[in-house]
Amino acid sequence: MTDRLKKRSTEATSSIMVFPSDTNDYGTMYGGRLIEMMDMVGGICARRFSSHKAVTASIEDMQFNKPINRGDIIEFKSKVIYTGKTSMVIKTKVTREGYDEAKEICARAYFVFVAMDSDGRPIEVPLLELVTEKEEKNNKIGAEIRKRQALEEKRFEIELNENL
């Protein structure tokens, strides 16, 4: 058995202004565009943590709770909250600010990424080192998310095999 490297969580952040091309007929941001940006920032976080390429395995518990309007500045923050052998659960939050600079959380999701070696095979990731109580709580959430995601993988496999 090899000793796995232990590592503190990594973070990735990005900010953009929402332009008309990012919005629907109501002047609010397309959900798909928001998810795309969240996935990219989460992928950067996964790559930094694993020191390898990482691919999105699933998006879990995507929540939209405030509309994002044309002209808003939005900030994406991703953080590794749980690690399996080759997978990482990354929590990504999105905040928006209007013209008054007040920030409010408008979306959140958990992305499961898998680290890949140069041949495109899953590769072991470092163990997540937990130091604070907040990290412990997030890790428990991440473990639950990963457990649910594994069940969904099995269900999807059954659907594929039975052509449902």
- Domain at 52, CATH number: 3.10.129.10
Would 103 be classed as within a structural domain?
yes
By C-alpha distance, which of 121, 114, 120, 77 is closest to 95?
Answer: 77
Per-residue pLDDT of the chain (164 residues; tens, 9 = 90+): 468 899 999 999 999 999 999 999 999 999 999 999 999 999 999 999 999 999 999 999 999 999 999 999 999 999 999 999 999 999 999 999 978 888 999 999 999 999 999 999 999 999 999 999 999 999 999 999 999 988 988 999 999 999 98
The token duo for 109 is 């999701």
Q: Is the pTM of this model over 0.85?
A: yes
Report if residue 73 sits inside a domain: yes
Q: Which residues, in sequence order, are CB contacts of 136 under 8 Å at separation 6+?
A: 130
In a domain, 1, yes or no: no
CA 58 to chain centre: 9
CB contact set of 150 (below 8 Å; sequence gap of 6+): none
Domain membership flag for residue 71: yes
Distances in whole angstroms, Cα of residue 113 to Cα of each of 64, 91, 116, 122: 21, 11, 10, 10
Distance CA 57, CA 87 (A): 9
Parent domain of 90: 6-161
Number of domains in the chain: 1
